[in-house]
Structure 1
Amino acid sequence: MKKYILSFAVLALFYSKSEACAWSDPDYEYFNLFTQSIIKDKSYLPFLHSYSERFYTNFKPSQIPDENIDSWKKFFNNQLTYAETDYLVNKMNINDLNALKKGNPTNQLLIKVGTGFYQKYHEGIDYLIEAKYLEPYMKINYVESADSFYYRENGTDKNATNLDYDKTISALTSLYNAARNPEIKQRYGYQLVRFNHYTRNYDAAVQAFKTYILPIKSKGAPYIMALDQLAGAQRGLGMGSDANWNFFQVFKDSKSRKESAFISMKLSDTASFNNILKRSGTNDEKNMAYFLLGYEDFNNPIPIMEKMFEIDPDSEILKVIAVRSINELERNYLPIYYYSNDDNSTAQVSNSTKTSDQTKTETAEVKKEELSFWQKIIRFFKNLFGGSKDKKSDESKTDQSDDELLDNPNRIPVFTKNNYWYDEKTKDFLDDLEKFTDKTKEKSKDEYWQIADAYLKFLKKDYKASTEVLEDIKTTNPEYLEEIKRMKVLNDIVSQPKIDAEYEDHLMKDYAEYFADKPEVKKDSTETEGYDYYGEVPSTKDFLKDVLANRYFLQGEDGKSFLMNNKLSDLQYNPNSSLVKSVEDFYRKPNKTQFEEQIIAKNINNVGNIEAFFAVIYGDRAMRQADFEKAKSYYTKAQSFSGIPRSEWNYEAKKTTALQYPGTAYNGFNNISDLVFGHNVWESYQSAPEESMEKEDYSPFPFIKPNMNKLQLADALVQLKKIGVGKDEKSASANQLIGNVLYNTSVLGYYRELFVMDIDNTNGGKYDFWITDKQNPYQYYYKNFLNRTYIEPDNFDLAINYYKKALDASNNKEQKARVLFQMASAEQGKYYQYEAKNPSKVDYSDPKYSEKSDAYQNQLDQIKNQKYRTYFAMLKTQYANTETAKNMMGSCSYFSYFMK
C-alpha cells in the first residue's frame, strides 16, 4: 500500500493530472480490472505501471524469487524449505550459528536439523558466520560535499571503513584459498569485491573480480552478486559504459536485484540505451535492451513491442510492456469518477477541485453497433410514428428501447482525457494495441495474450467478441482463471441493455460475491504496519456499483442511481427536489427485489424519522418558492424531525457519533429566531444574530413568536400573506416582513441556512452563486455527490415582488426607503447570479490578458449599472433625505459610494 505521501506529492506533478490542493494517489483513481500482477515471472513486478511511485509496490516482497536463497537451498540439498533457508541466511543471529558449530544449538530450527547439519555443511555454515560478522559494516562511507542534496547529521552508523582493511583482506583471502567447494569459494570472492568497493578501493575491487570470481566457471547467484559490486566499482572509476553493461547483465540474469540494477544503470539518455543495444550479442540481450527502452520511453511502446515480438513472441518481458500499456488505457477508460462540465458535452476525471486547464475535456467516443438492414427499417418506423421525445425528460429516459440504451454515448466505460502527455494519437492507441495483441496471441503459446485481447475488446465495448475469446481460452493458471472469471462477469453486466427486476435477480443469484461486503481481512504479520492515507484500492465491486449506478441514471431511475454510491443522509447537502422525489419513490417502492433490498436499500441510513426527513426537504423547497401553504402542509408531517443527521467526533468513545443538538440550538427544524423577519444592520455572517440583525415592529402581528419551529414560521407567513392582500400600512408591513424572510434566507441573507438543510450560515458550496441551466448537472451518475453543488438557485424576484407590494401600500417615506434598500439588496443578488453565469473567458496566457480582463470588468460594471441598480437609483433620487437613507450610508459602504 502507498504510504509515502511526500514522494507522491512531487511525482504527481509530473505523472498525473491529479487534484489541486489535495492529497490523492493516481494509482487509486482507476479500477485496475485487468490485474497487472498476473504476469508469470514475478521478478518483473516492480516494473508494472505506477504513477505514485517510481516502481510498482502493490505486492508482497516474498512474491519475487531470490536466486541467492534458491542457491543456498540447493547447497543444503533441499533439506530446508525456502522460508527456512531465507531465515537461516538472512535473519538468524550469528550467535545461533556459532552455537551450532560448537555442538550445542539453541535455535529451534537448528535443533530440528541436528548437530550433524554442521558436519555435513561446515563450509557453508562457516561462510555464513563470516558473512554475518561483515554484514553490519557492508555500507559505503558517505562523504558530505558542498553539492550534496541531503543534509545528514553526524551518526554512528557502521560502514566498511570501520574495519581494518589489511586484516579483513587477509582473512577473506585465506578463507577463499582454504575453501574447497567452488560455490563457497566464489562467495568469499564476492566478499572481497564488495569490501573493496565499499572502502572505495575501486581498482582493487575490479582486480578482485578478475582474480577470485572469473576463475571459477560459474555464473550462479554468487557471480551475479559479485558482478553487481564490480559494476559499482566501475562507476566509481568513471567507467560508465562498462558499469552500465554489467548492471545490465545483473538486471537480465538476477530475479531479486532487477530493481536495484535498473536504478544503478542510470540510463538517462538515448545514447546509453544504444550503447547497450550495440553490445548485445544474443537475442535475449537484445530483447532485454528493447524492454528497458520501452519501459523508459513509454509515450508509444508499440514500435518497441514490434521489435521484441520479432525476437521472441513468447517473451515474458513483452507481456510486462503490454500490461503497462493496458494499464495506461484503463486509466483513460475506467476512472473512479467521471466528471461532466455544465455544457453536458464532454467528460473528464476528477475527485475534487480542478484547475481551469484541467477542466478541458475530451468528447467521449463510442463505437456504435452496426445495425442490420431490418433493424434500420424498424428504427425508421419507430421514429416515424413514435413522435418526438425530449431525451432529457425522465419520462423519455424510462421509455427507451434496448437499442437507444446501448447507443447512449455515456454508458460506462467512457474514454476520457486523463493524463498530461495526452495527444490525438492516444485515441488510436486502443486500436493499435488490439491489433498487436491479436497478432501476438496467434504466435505465442501463453494464454495471457488471449486474455489481454478479450480485455481490450471489453474496453471497446465489443462485449460479444470479448466473451467469445474468453470462452476459447484453455488454461490451468489460477491467476489467469480468476481474471477470465471476472471479465466474463464484466461483459455480462456491462452489455446488458437495461437493468430490470429480472436481471437484478440474476445478479444476486450468480454474482452475489461481487456485490456483498467482504469480511475484514487480517494483515499478514510479516507486512509492515502503517496507516493507508488513501483508503482501500478501488475494486471490481466498486466498478460494478458505478456501472449499475450509471445504468440506472441513464434509465431515469435517479433514486436507485443515487443510492448505489451515496447514503440517504447525503441528500441534506444538495437537496435538489427532483432527485429527492426519486429517492423517496424508491424508498416507498413495495416488493423490492432482493438486489434492491440488500445492495441499494442498505444505504437508506439513519436519518431519524424518514418521513419527517423528506417532509423537511420538501417544505424547505416550498418556502424557497414562497409557497407557504404547501410548506406548512409538509412541515405538519415533519414535527417528529430529530435534526439534520450530522456526525461529530466523540472524544470519550474515540469514534464518530451522531451530533446531539442542545435544546436551544437550531437543528434544521426547531429554534428559529424572530430576527428572521428583521433586516441586517451590517453584513457579517459570523457575528451574533443580535449584532448583525435588527427587528422590525412585530406588534401588529402577535403570531410572530420570539422562537419558532418551521411549522410555526410557515403558519406566520401564511397569515402575513392574507393580511398583505390589503392596501393599508399593516398590509405594507406584512408584505415587507415576507420579503425580509425571503431575502434573509437567500444566499445573501444572515439566515441562509434555514431552507437548504444546513445547521449554520458558515460559508460553503451551498452559498456559491454557481448556477446551472440544467435541472441536473450530472451526466453519468451521482458518485462524489458531496463534491458538487446544485441546489436550485434563489428566485430574488419573489422577495422583490413582496417588497413592491409593501412599497405600493405604504405612505411612510421612512418605511419606503427601508423597503427600497431591501429591494436593491435583492436586485444585487440577481446581478451576482448573472455574473456567475457569465465568467471571464480570457485565457491567463493571453499576452493581452490585463487589457481584456479590464474590458470584461468594464462591461460587467456597465451591465450592473444599467440593469441591476434600479432600486438604488430610486432610493437616491426620491428618498435621499430620509433618516433611513442617511443611516444606511453609514453602515453600507457601497450604498454610500453609490450616493456620492
Structure 2
Amino acid sequence: MKKYILSLAVLSLFYTKTEACAWSDPDYEYFNLFTQSIIKDKSYLPFLHSYSTRFYSDFKASQIPDENIYSWKKFFNNQLNYAEADYLVNKMSINDLNALKKGNLNNQLLIKLGADFYQKYHEGIDYLIEAKYLEPYMKINYVESADSFYYRENESDKNATQLDYNKTIAALTSLYNAAKNPEIKQRYGFQLVRFNHYTRNYDAATQAFKTYVEPIKLKGAPYIMALDQLAGAQRGLGMNSDANWNFFQVFKDSKSRKESAFVSMKLSDTASFNNILKRAGTNDDKNMAYFLLGYEDFNNPIPIMEKMFEIDPDSEILKVMAVRSINELERSYLPVYYYTNDDQSTVQVNNSIKNTDQAKAETTEPKKEELSFWQKIVRFFRKLFGLKDKSPEEIKADQSDDQLLDNPNRIPVFTKNNYWYDDKTKDFLDDLEKFTDKTKEKSKDEYWQIADAYLKFLKKDYKESTKILNDIKTSNPEYQEQIKRMKVLNDIVSQPKIDAEYEDHLMKDYAEYFVDKPEVKKDSTEANEYDYYGEVPSTKDFLKDVLANRYFLQGEDGKSFLMNNKLSDLQYNPNSTLVKSVEDFYRKPNKTQFEEQIISKNINDVGNIDAFFAVIYGDRAMRQADFEKAKSYYAKAQGFTGIPRSEWNYDAKKQTPLKYASNVYNGFNNISDLVFGHNVWESYQSSPDESMEKEDYSQFPFIKPTMNKLELVDALIQLKKIGVGKDEKSATASQLIGNLLYNTSILGYYRQIFVMDIDNSDGGKYSFYNWEKENPYQYYYKNFPNTIYIEQDNFDLAINYYKKALNESTNKEQKARVLFQMASAEQGKYYQYERKTPSKVNYSDPKYSEKSDAYKKNMDQIKNQQYRTYFAMLKTQYANTETARSLMGSCSYFDYFMK
C-alpha cells in the first residue's frame, strides 16, 4: 500500500487538489484539544463546529435532555427516574399499558410501580395508549414524482392518510373534551394539530392549534410540540414568515428539537433573519436570532458575538459561538500533520493526494543564522588549528534554551491548513483573545477563563496560560478535566529541552498521556463499532507529535523517528544518516523509563535487529561502490530473515508477517546472476529472463547463478581485482561491475536490490523527485513512509567502470555495448539535472506557452550538448557494429538518435 501511495505523489503533480476524496474527513485532521462539548447546555451540542457533517455529532444522543420526558416525570410526581419515564413513554408496548389498565401487571417496571398506578394517573395512561396507537401512522404521506430521488427501502409504508380521517378526528376531539387535566388536554390538542398537518389538511391544523392548544395557557412540552406542527402546516400554506417565526420559538424553547427546528426554518437569505429580528420583542429572542445569524455566516463571528455580549455576557449560546471560533483556529494551529515547507515544490502526501502548490505548508522559514563577533573569532581559531567543525546534529544538541524556544519550527505553529483559509485567520486569534478577555470579566462562568487560557496557549504564552488556569476555581467536572489537560499541555510544550530529567517527570506525573490503555469495546447502541476513518486524533497523539518535534530540533533524530514510526518503517526510506541515529538510540545503554516504555516500544519485529541495520548499511556501501565496506556489513547480516512486510491472512482475518518462499528475493538472499547482465528491453513488469540477458561469465566461475548479498559482494571484490589488469578479461570484469551498478540504480531492472524493497514495481523510491534534499523533513518524521528520503544514485560510479572496460577492450562489439550502457547511465545524470532545474513558468503567465516552449528547447539543447556524449560516440564510431544495429531495433530512442 505504501508503494502505491508513494507512486501517486508523482501523478498528483498533474491533478488539481482532491481534498474531498472519499477517504478524507476534515474533522480527523486536527487535534481537538479544546473540548467543544464542555458547554453546560447540552441541547446546543449539534451546533458545535464540524466540517464533516452539517451538524456536530460526536456525542451520545442521551446527552441532550428531552423536555417531553421531564414533563411526564413531573406528571407522574417523579415516581420514575428519567430512564424509566423514557421507557414508559417511548418504548413500552401498547399491550403492556392495556394490561395495566385491566389490572394485569406483566411488565417489570409496572410491577415496581404497583397496581394503583393506573388509578392515580389514568388520564395520562389512557393518553399514552392512544398516542402509541397513532404513532406508527404519524408521518406525512410521501408523494413520489418522476424526478424524485429518495431512498425508502427500509421505511415503513404507514402514514397518516391510512387512518380514517373523520373517525380519528372525532375520537381525538372526544378524548380532548373528556380530559380534566390541562396538560393531558393539551396533548390531545397536539395530536389533532399533528394529524391534520400530516394528512395535509393545513388550514384545519392551524385552526386546531387555535381551538385546542392556545386556549390552555400552558407553554410546556406539549405546547412546543404542537407549535412545531403548526409551523409545519404554515409552511404548507406558504406562510413562510409565520412558519419561520414559530420554528424559531421551538428552537429557542425546546431542548431536544433544536436541530430539527433549525432545519425547518430554512433561513436561506438575509431577509429571513431580518424578519425574525423585527419580531424579536425580548432580549432573549434577539440574542437567539443573532446566534442563528452567526451560525449560518461564520466567516467572522466577532461582530455578531459583540451584539450577543451586549445583550447577555452569560448567554450559553455566546459560549457556543466562542467554542466554534476556537475550533476553527485549532485547525490552523493543530493539524495532525505539518507539511514540510519546500521551495522545491516537493509533493507531500497526507490522508488524500494533493497537488504541488496546495500540498506545501506555508510556515515561517527559519532565519539565516547571523554569527556574533565572538562566534567568528572561535571559527577563525578552529580553522587555524585544524579543528573539525561540528556536525549538524552536534550543533543542534548544543543549542541554548532560548534558541530552542525561538525556533520557528517549534510546533504548534500557524499553518494555512484549514479548508476555507482566510488571510485574516491569524489576526482572528488576537481579536478572539480580546473578546474572551473582556467577556471573562463580565461573565460568572469559568468557561471564559478556560477559553482565554487556551488562546494564550495557541499564542505560545504558556506562562500566562498556566497562571490563568491556576486561578480558576470550579466544581464542574468537564471544566476540571479541560483545565487539567491544558496544564499538562502548557508544561510539556513550554519545556525548552526534553532531557533525561524531564522524561522522568513525564513518566512520574503524566504517564496516562503516554502509556497505552487497554482497548475498550464501543457501546454499539451509541456508536458505530466500525469507524471508517479510525480513531479521532487525541491529546496523547498531539503530545507524541510535540515530543517528536522537540527531539528533531534537538538533533535526536532517532528518538524523533521512533515517536511516530516503527523501526521497520526505515525500510521505506533507508537514509543512512537517520538509520545511524536510530541505531545509536537502539544501542544506548541505561535508557530512561520513558525511552524504554514509550519510545523503545516502536522497535518492532524486524527479525534480527543487528542484521536489519547491517543490510541497510551494506546496501548503502554497495550504491557507493565501496565493496569492501559492504562486505564487512553483509558478514554481520547473515541472520537477516527478510524485509519486514505484512500480508492479509484470510484464515486469521488480519495482517500477519509476510513469509518469504525459500526461492524468492527477501532483501538478502536469492539474487540472480542476471544482475550482471544487460537490458534486452526496458520492462520492469516482465520476467527477468524477458527483460535481461546474461553476459559471458565463463571467465568468472565465482559468479553463481543465485547468490546472497555476501556472495554477491565477494564476486564484485574479485571482479574489481581482475579489473585492475590491462587485458580483455579485465575489460569484461569492469563492464560487469558497471552493469551491476547501473542495473541496481533507479533506472535498472534490479533497482530494488539496494534500497530495501522486495520488487521493482513502481513506488516513490524510483522517482527522481526529492532526491536532491539531504533531509526533506522540517518538523518531525511523521508520515515517514510517504516521503522520499534516500540518497541519490551516483551514475559516475558505473560510468567510470565502463570507461575502464572501454579503454581495455579491443572488441568493437563489446565497446559498442559498453558505450550504450554508458549512455544509459548518462541519461540518469540528465534526469537528475532536469529535476534540479524545473520550469518556473507560471500557468497564469500570458506567455505561458511561449516560455514553456523556450524552456523545453533550452533543456533539449543542454541534453544534446552535455548528456549525449556516449550516444554520439556510438553513432560516429560504432554505427556499423552488429550491436548498434540490434540496439536500433530494441531501443526506439536510440533508433531516433541514429537517424
Query: What band does the TM-score fall into relative to the shorter chain?
Result: over 0.9
Q: Which residue of 2 aligns with 1:342?
A: 342
Alignment map for 1:237-256 (pairs within 5 Å) = 237-256=237-256
Q: How many Å apart are 1:364 and its aligned residue? A: 3.3
**Paired residue secondary structure (1:358):** helix
Deviates more, 1:380-389 or 1:205-214: 380-389
Q: Deviations over 1:68-104 (max 9, x none)?
A: 0000011010000100100111111111111111110
- Report the counterpart of residue 855 of structure 2 in structure 1: 856
Q: CA deviation at 1:155?
A: 7.6
The SS at the match of 1:340 is coil
CA deviations over 1:633-676 (Å, ceiling 9, x no partner): 10000011111111111112222211111111111000000000
Question: Mean Cα displacement is larger for which, 330-339 or 392-401?
Answer: 392-401
Q: SS in structure 2 opposite 1:806?
A: helix
1:817 is matched with: 816
Conserved 8 A contact 1:291-1:321: yes
Structure-2 separation of matches of 1:747 and 1:348: 20
In structure 1, runs of 5+ residues without a counterpart are 1-15, 368-378
Partner of 1:314: 314
In structure 2, the partner of 1:554 is: 553
SS in 2 for 1:649: strand
SS at match of 1:31: coil
CA distance 1:136–1:151, shift in 2 (3 Å): closer
Mapped to 1, the partners of 2:261 and 2:426 lie a distance apart of 35
**Is the deviation greater in 317-326 or in 356-365?**
356-365
The equivalent of 1:736 in structure 2 is: 735
Q: Contact between 1:348 and 1:361, CA under 8 Å: does it hold in 2?
A: no
Distance 2:352 2:576 in 1: 24
**Higher mean Cα deviation, 845-854 or 334-343?**
845-854
Higher relative contact order (CA 8 A, sep 6+): 2
1:56 corresponds in structure 2 to: 56
Deviates more, 1:764-773 or 1:480-489: 764-773
8 A Cα contact 1:672 1:710, kept in partner: yes
Structure 2 residue aligned with 1:296: 296
1:114-149 per-position Cα deviation (integer Å, ceiling 9, x unaligned): 121111111111111111111111111111234434
Alignment of 1:189-208 (within 5 A): 189-208=189-208
Residues 1:535 and 2:534 aligned together: yes
Would the alpha carbon gap of residues 775 and 154 (structure 1) be closer, same or farther in structure 2, given more than 3 Å must change? closer
Greater Cα offset, 166-175 or 766-775: 766-775
Is the Cα–Cα contact under 8 Å of residues 642 and 668 in structure 2 kept in the other structure? Answer: yes
Q: What is the aligned partner in structure 2 of residue 572 from structure 1?
A: 571
Checking the alignment, whether the CA contact within 8 Å between 1:38 and 1:479 is kept in structure 2 is yes
Residues in 1 aligned to 2:191 and 2:375: alpha-carbon distance in whole angstroms: 82
Indicate the residue corresponding to 1:46 in structure 2: 46
Relative to structure 1, the CA distance from residue 500 to residue 528 in structure 2 (aligned partners, 3 Å threshold; closer, same or farther) is: closer
Deviations 1:666-712 (A, max 9, x none): 11000000000000100111111111100001111111111100001
Determine if the alignment matches structure 1 residue 102 to structure 2 residue 72: no
In structure 2, relative to structure 1, the CA distance for the partners of 1:321 and 1:403 (3 Å cut) is same
Q: What residue in structure 2 maps to residue 11 of structure 1?
A: none
- Residue 613 (structure 1) aligns with: 612
From the superposition, tell whether residues 805 and 20 of structure 1 become closer, same or farther in structure 2 (CA, over 3 Å): farther
Contact 2:25 2:533 in 1 (8 A): yes
Distance 2:770 2:366 in 1: 30
Give the distance between the partners of 1:198 and 1:392, measured in 2 at CA.
78
Q: Structure 1 residue 843: deviation in Å?
A: 3.7
Question: 1:214 corresponds to which residue?
Answer: 214
Q: 1:867 to 1:110 in 2, by over 3 A?
A: same
Q: Residues 127-185 of structure 1, C-alpha deviation per residue, up to 9 Å, x if partnerless?
A: 11111111111111111234434376798611111111111111111111111100000
Aligned to 1:115: 115
Report what 2:701 is aligned to.
Answer: 702
Contact 1:814 1:884 (8 Å CA) reproduced = yes
Question: Could you tell me which residue of structure 2 aligns to residue 898 of structure 1?
Answer: 897
> In the alignment, is the contact (CA less than 8 A) between 2:341 and 2:365 conserved in 1?
no
* 2:471 alignment counterpart: 472
How far residue 780 of structure 1 moved from its aligned partner, in angstroms, is: 0.3
Residue identity matched to 1:330: E
**Aligned equivalents of 2:377, 2:250: Cα separation in 1:** 73
Residue number in structure 1 paired with 2:417: 418
Aligned to 2:679: 680
Shift of 1:836: 2.5
* 1:851 CA displacement: 4.1
Deviation at 1:345, TM superposition (A): 11
State the alpha-carbon separation in 1 of the partners of residues 582 and 254 from structure 2. 58
Letter in 2 for 1:819: V
Distance in 2, matches of 1:168 and 1:176, equals 12
Q: Do residues 66 (structure 1) and 66 (structure 2) align? A: yes
Letter in 2 for 1:737: L
Amino acid at match of 1:148: S
Summarize the Cα distance change of 1:259–1:228 in structure 2 as closer, same or farther, 3 Å threshold.
Answer: same
Q: Return the letter of the residue paired with 1:83.
A: A
- Equivalent in the alignment of 2:35: 35
Residues 216-615 of structure 1 aligned to structure 2 (within 5 Å): 216-343=216-343, 350-364=350-364, 383=375, 387=379, 393-524=392-523, 526-615=525-614
Matches of 2:574 and 2:829, distance apart in 1: 22
Within a 5 Å distance, the mapping from 1:77-156 to structure 2 comes to 77-150=77-150
Could you say what secondary structure the match of 2:589 adopts? coil
1:878 aligns to what? Answer: 877
Q: Secondary structure at the match of 1:657?
A: strand
- The one-letter amino acid of 2:673's match is D
Structure 1: distance between partners of 2:17 and 2:480: 34
Residues 350 and 783, structure 2, Cα contact 8 Å, conserved in 1 = no
Question: Deviation of residue 849 (structure 1)?
Answer: 4.2
Distance 1:337 1:69, change over 3 A: same
Change (3 A) 1:683 1:431: same
Q: Distance in 1 between matches of 2:169 and 2:204?
A: 11
Displacement of 1:722:
1.1
- Corresponding position of 1:375: none
What's the secondary structure of 2:402's corresponding residue?
helix
Closer/same/farther in 2, CA of residues 344 and 771 from structure 1, 3 Å limit: closer
- 2:771–2:790: 8 Å Cα contact kept in structure 1? no
Q: State the one-letter code of the partner of 1:325.
A: S
User: Alignment identity in percent?
Assistant: 85
Query: What's the CA shift for 1:21?
Result: 4.6
Residue type of the partner of 1:226?
A: A
Q: Which residue of 2 aligns with 1:374?
A: none
Give SS of 2:359's match.
coil
SS at match of 1:648: strand
Aligned to 1:8: none
What is the CA distance between 1:395 and its match in structure 2? 1.5
1:759 matched residue in structure 2: 758
1:529 deviation in Å?
A: 3.7
How far apart in 1 are the matches of 2:366 and 2:715?
56
Contact 2:770–2:776 at 8 Å: present in 1 too? Answer: no
Cα–Cα, structure 1 residues 155 and 26, in superposed 2: closer, same or farther, change >3 Å?
Answer: closer
Q: Note closer, same or farther for the CA distance 1:154–1:114 as it changes in structure 2 (3 Å cut).
A: closer
Residues 53 and 832 of structure 1, relative CA distance in 2, 3 Å threshold:
same
Provide the rounded CA distance (Å) in 2 between the counterparts of 1:334 and 1:17. 21
SS of the equivalent of 1:656 reads strand
Partners of 1:321 and 1:17 lie apart in 2 by 30
- For 1:6, the equivalent position in structure 2 comes to none
Aligned residues of 1:650 and 1:657 also touching (Cα < 8 A): yes
Contact 1:545 1:564 in 2 (8 A): yes
CA contact (8 A) 2:564 2:782 kept: yes
Is the CA contact (8 Å cut-off) linking 2:737 and 2:798 kept in structure 1? yes
1:784 maps to what in 2? 783
Change (3 A) 1:411 1:177: same
Q: For residue 346 of structure 1, report the CA deviation from its aligned partner.
A: 12
Structure 1 CA distance for aligned equivalents of residues 817 and 624 of structure 2: 23
Partner of 1:373: none
Does structure 1 retain, via aligned residues, the 8 Å contact 2:674–2:693?
yes
Structure 1: which amino acid aligns with 2:448? W
The residue type paired with residue 719 of structure 2 is L
- Cα 1:21–1:856 change in 2 (3 A) is farther
Find the counterpart in structure 2 of residue 372 from structure 1.
none
Cα distance per residue 1:579-637 (max 9 Å; x no partner): 00000000000000000000001110111111000000000000011111100110000
RMSD: 2.2
Q: Corresponding residue for 2:181?
A: 181
